[in-house]
Amino acid sequence: MQKSSRVAVLGGGSFGTAVANIIADNNHHVRLWMRNPDVASAINEQHINPRSFPDFVLNSQLKATNDIAEAVRDADYVFFAVPSQFSRDVAQQSRAHIKKGAALISLTKGIEAETFYLMSQVLGQEFPDHSIAVLSGPNLAKEVIQRQPTATVIASKDDHLIEQVQAMLHTAYFRVYASSDMYGVELGGALKNCYAIMCGMAAALGSGQNTIGMLLTRSLAEMSRFAVRLGADPMTFLGLAGVGDLIVTCMSPLSRNYKVGFALGQGQELEAVLQELGQVAEGVNTLSLVQQKAEELNIYMPLVNGMYDILHNGKSIADVVDKLMLAEQNTDVEFSMLEK
């Protein structure tokens, strides 16, 4: 049995709260950091997160704070669960207080705008002497907090850290698989958000299941094509962090990015949708970054280009589907075509 560890989770949104609650369920000492002192007080006094899960009682051992130094001090493991645009800032705020040898685990599915760095790369720059891992998979926070059976993937170059995180997070309702492909696992988590917006739009417009099936499978091909060009293992996309996360995010009304797409498909304006959502939908920012990078590297990504046209150039989902149907007919599965 794993000994009790001191753990910090930075980011008190829905997934950060859900992961912190798992860790508390496993009898570790966990502190959850968030900026809002009122939410922190509600977690400590009422054992609820009124913004993310007002109807769910959290483990009473979970403690919250809005003092980042207090959260990370003496922590053996620090989980980063803040939106990608704030990740470097939070890393820099916490750096002076994180002890030497603490392991860092990213839960964020996004890309840094200025650099096109994934979160493991951001953490690697800010913490060059620490072991780093990333966690990603088909993990809707609301279902995790309800303790519904869920699986995820932990990826790292440090095999020992993988084993430690697996033991820390494994419960009767949460299973953690291992991977050595950090880049592929992170790219899967970031890229699928773009396609969830498109599938939400398609659902709002009444598209048939044939259309949805086509969008999902072409999305998977496009994701893997892009990721392999950037150095990922294509087989990663056949697992939980690839096709598993893609299906969940593109098919569930619980997904923020799906919600954005569905609202757009109903004719709402993007800015109004994001304001009403009240949470970060990583796919909106990721889409523009991926479109620019694909253009720079000359990677064929018709769905990303189509979604970019919809969000920024006034095109419709019908225009994108028509363009896809009229495009050159090529190989269905590309993995076997890759050069060794």
Distance CA 59, CA 56 (A): 10
Instruction: Locate 3 and state its tokens.
Output: 């000994």
Task: Look up residue 313 and give its amino acid.
Answer: N
Q: DSSP of 192-221, one letter per residue?
A: HHHHHHHHHHHHHTT--HHHHHHHHHHHHH
Which is catalytic among the residues 3, 63, 100, 192? 192
Cβ atoms < 10 Å from Cβ of 63 = 17
Beta bridge partners of 103: 77
Distance CA 331, CA 276 (A): 41
- Which segments of 26-175 does DSSP mark as H helices, in order? 37-46, 68-72, 84-95, 119-126, 141-145, 159-169
Told to judge if 192 belongs to the known catalytic residues of this protein, a careful annotator would answer: yes
Distance CA 124, CA 91 (A): 10
Cβ atoms < 10 Å from Cβ of 208 = 9
DSSP state, 336? G
Instruction: Locate 174 and state its tokens.
Output: 């949460």
| Residues designated catalytic | 192
